[in-house]
Amino acid sequence: VVRPKGELAGLVSVHYPTTRFENMVLDKATLKKLGRIVDEHRNREKLAAHGLSPRRKFLLVGPPGTGKTLTASALAGELGLPLFTILLDGVINRYMGETSSKIRLVFEAMKKTRGVYFFDEVDALATKRLIENDVGEARRTLNSILQLLDEDDSDALIIAATNRPDVLDPAILRPGRFDRRINVPRPDLVGRVGILQVHTRKVPLSSDVELEIIGRGCPGFSGADLENLVNEASLLAARQDKDSVAMIDFEMA
């Protein structure tokens, strides 16, 4: 088990996810893309024999709660790799003026420890003014990440996620910077029903609960919203001392 030590401990958190793609609901095209990535990494020695290397740098784009973090976890889980989450806000607040050198430490760690390295909400860096007098630190952090990303030739998988492609710095989207951009939209009806199924697997449901009807009633819900709905309904049912979730109160959501 890898544990970040010294300075690195304040820059990244590490988990060994048990998440698999079967725990998430994604549209077919996205699942296929992710499946290919996993295959490439599982077969990287074979690829290397042909002078090829697996794709490693990904940009996940989608609204909050649609499963970007879960996707990073599932990639790590499928490949049996540790998931390192870079604590960007913490880095900027704690190491004002030296964020670039701290980010460099993270990229040095990638060379030593293969894993999935997850940079969440990189869009925030492009627009954030963290404190008065500080216009530049967040942007400098973003620029360091992009420069180090371009230079990186480790074996690590690097995933950046953003909720706001509309405000995203054009520099991030520059062709060739990421090997793949993966869109993670809000689920459609089939997706919503699938996500409700995943999250009610362990919930005792009464026979008159029809997830299809509930899914129809929740247009625009993200995976996280649907998970919340199931949790709230479960709590409500438990409070009413019923042993099944027979009622879903739409106003709660």
Contact residues: ligand ADP, CB under 6 A: 24-26, 62, 64-70, 195, 198, 223-224, 227
Which is nearer to ligand ADP, 140 or 218 (by Cβ)? Answer: 218
Distance CA 129, CA 140 (A): 12
* 176 class by beta-carbon count within 10 Å (0-12 exposed, 13-18 middle, 19+ buried): exposed
Which is nearer to ligand ADP, 25 or 140 (by Cβ)? Answer: 25
Distance CA 236, CA 250 (A): 12
| Chain residue whose CB lies nearest ligand ADP | 223
Which is nearer to ligand ADP, 123 or 137 (by Cβ)? Answer: 123
Distance CA 94, CA 69 (A): 24
CB of 149 to ligand ADP, least distance (A): 19
CB of 97 to ligand ADP, least distance (A): 29
Which is nearer to ligand ADP, 84 or 95 (by Cβ)? Answer: 84
Which is nearer to ligand ADP, 4 or 65 (by Cβ)? Answer: 65
CB of 37 to ligand ADP, least distance (A): 17
Residues in the chain: 253
Q: How far does the chain reach from its first CA to its final CA, in angstroms? A: 39
Which is nearer to ligand ADP, 95 or 178 (by Cβ)? Answer: 178
Alpha helices in the chain (DSSP H): 28-42, 44-49, 68-79, 88-94, 99-112, 122-127, 137-151, 189-199, 211-216, 223-239
Under a CB-based contact definition with an 8 Å cutoff, are residues 106 and 90 in contact? no
CB of 182 to ligand ADP, least distance (A): 11
**Strand 83-86 relative to strand 12-15: parallel, antiparallel, unpaired?**
antiparallel
CB of 85 to ligand ADP, least distance (A): 11
